[in-house]
Amino acid sequence: MTRKLDPGKWERLLSEERRALLDPGAFLDSIGMEAGSTAADLGAGPEFFTGLLAQRVGPGGTVHAVDTSPEMVHLLRDQDLPSQVKVVLSGGNRLPIPNESVDLARLAFVLHELDEPTSFLAEARCVLWPSGRLAVLEWVPQEE
């Protein structure tokens, strides 16, 4: 059974507490992005990583900000994002990105929301260049 975030609670995704805990800049520093690269922000949500990815790839790069939630895509489109960010609504496990066109695909806290994570990861692999990289952050269930 998947656990999906209620889109009405999107503010939680942008909280200062979450930024302090996860430090998106440090995460992106650790995986490295070159200017002019193409990135896929899969499960972009309301823009936790997208703007920082756009800074890293620069004006000569592209960031595909992808989400399956129309509410999240609407929130993304309302942001003041750089022109190299392409916001797209995805239909389930099919990614609206050309195959072998992405240097880095980033997923943060998405896998636990998917009904078929294996097929989603296979689709993510298809959009990556043969030398492309997949960076995943995911929750680890812990007993309380």
DSSP classification of residue 112: G
The model's pLDDT over 30-89, given as tens digits with 9 standing for 90+, comes to 888 899 999 999 988 877 789 889 999 999 999 999 988 898 898 889 888 999 999 999
d(CA 56, CA 32): 8
Which residues, 6 or more positions from 84, have their beta carbon under 8 angstroms from its beta carbon?
A: 54, 57, 58, 59, 60, 61, 62, 63
d(CA 102, CA 43): 15
The model's pLDDT over 98-115, given as tens digits with 9 standing for 90+, comes to 999 999 999 887 777 778
Residue 54 CB-half CA count within 13 A = 18
Q: What is residue 15's three-state secondary structure?
A: coil
- Work out the number of other CB atoms within 10 angstroms of the CB of residue 108: 21
Whole-structure pTM over 0.85, yes or no? Answer: no
pLDDT at res. 72: 82
